[in-house]
Chains A and B, each alone.
Chain A
């Protein structure tokens, strides 16, 4: 599966945020999208999933134009996203959130056990009462356990303790190794370096740099851009 954004534009009301972003994410690769706060990363995630309407450009999933598709159809086409905020239904139980994502009760334990004991046996708990980190883990666990071919993960490690950051990294790598494509929005540069096959740097709604993660010059430029 291949996600292709071509000259993608979007924004909020009359305020443009993305000024023509082009990128691709293919099966079996992790593309790390990095950029400072306000670069447009979350706007890009929302636009790719269709929660935010694009104002220009095109999005294709395996050659199919999904630019005007509602989010639910994009999900059924194989795309899945975790949002930086509001990733789960806080008023519903953990089990309800799993059911909404299509998991039968027989698979709840499998999903919840993916991150060790942190979420185990907490199916009946109201999701909003989980800690921020636990909610992040749950959102990531749900996304990774779906059969989506292409995952878009918006800062999934934010608020996680270091051991869980490493564990989540392992799960994302496993997803890549299983042939899934991952667009990873990540501020945690070390993790991004560890996981990514390619880097894309976003600045003020435009792609300003990109290339293979193995390129030491690019890694240095990325680090410099994020620090400055």
Chain B
């Protein structure tokens, strides 16, 4: 029973990380139809924000909003300088964001070197709950991810901004004809997508090494989540993260991590086989 509880908590922790990393990817893909291959690098930069906050002696929790702000600004700059010009051409956005990901890794290497950096766990130790000991920081991670995902979903479904986003996704020309500034909405969406990646990076920084290649580890998982959950509904990101986390945790429990990855990929292929075709770019 304890082993099962521990697996469930591990699954919840994995779900939290996957959901928060994939959220920004889902926003940018869902709204703009942009497949952002530099999303993992946004996560990596968020982790470096946490590292810088640690090295200057500030509280780790400050790095979460700071990473959001830094990455939002970076996202806005990238949208204006690059994405805006090509976002209606999917093949160009793939190439451009791939190039961007390489550039961002190189910049990180120039500034911070290739060395692995670490951010100390701000809440060391474990908490006993449900009859098992589980790292306290991971409990917090689950809670924070739940709040960030829920707040983002609410913002995109209940606010005027969310309504505008749904209108643009449904029919960009008609939205423009209703006086909606679609360019400004794209700008905000890309900025918010980058900001959520930054938050994810700052949150996962204490869990592993902070290094220029760190983002590469998160991108495949995030894409799996978006594929499984569906890019036509933002809440699908949460559902996709839950499904992928459940499959991975279950397979790891019975087999190992390699089979867990294979099972996740197989799940994605199966979902793609059975999903009805929908137009690219659709957050509902």
Binding site for B on A (CB under 8 A): 49-51, 70-72, 75-76, 81, 83, 86-92, 96, 99-102
With A91-B284, A100-B178, A101-B179 known to touch, is A71 a contact of B173 (CB < 8 Å)? Answer: yes
In-complex Cβ contact of B179 among A76, A86, A88, A96 (8 A): A76
CB-defined contacts of B175 to chain A, threshold 8 Å: 100
In angstroms, Cα B160 to Cα A50, docked, is 24
Within 8 A of A (CB), among B157-189: 160, 163-164, 166-167, 170-171, 173-183
Q: Is the CB of B167 within 8 A of A100?
A: yes
Q: Is the CB of B183 within 8 A of A96?
A: no
In-complex Cβ contact of B176 among A72, A96, A99 (8 A): A72
In angstroms, Cα B253 to Cα A73, docked, is 57
18 pairs, A vs B, C-beta closer than 8 Å: A50-B176, A51-B173, A51-B176, A51-B177, A70-B176, A72-B182, A75-B178, A83-B177, A86-B174, A87-B174, A88-B174, A89-B166, A91-B170, A96-B163, A96-B166, A99-B163, A100-B163, A101-B178
Q: Is the CB of B181 within 8 A of A89?
A: no
Q: Is the CB of A92 within 8 A of B183?
A: no
In angstroms, Cα B178 to Cα A101, docked, is 6
* CB nearest neighbor in A for B160: A99
In angstroms, Cα B183 to Cα A81, docked, is 20
A94 to chain B, nearest CB (A): 13
Q: Is the CB of B164 within 8 A of A71?
A: no
**A-B pairs, 8 with minimum CB distance:** A75-B179, A71-B176, A51-B173, A72-B181, A72-B176, A89-B170, A71-B177, A100-B178
Within 8 A of A (CB), among B46-101: none
In angstroms, Cα B181 to Cα A92, docked, is 18
CB-defined contacts of B167 to chain A, threshold 8 Å: 89, 92, 96, 100
Q: Is the CB of B183 within 8 A of A70?
A: yes
CB-defined contacts of A76 to chain B, threshold 8 Å: 179
In angstroms, Cα B175 to Cα A101, docked, is 9
A83 to chain B, nearest CB (A): 7
A144 to chain B, nearest CB (A): 14
In angstroms, Cα B172 to Cα A70, docked, is 12
B71 to chain A, nearest CB (A): 27
A98 to chain B, nearest CB (A): 10
CB-defined contacts of B176 to chain A, threshold 8 Å: 50-51, 70-72, 75
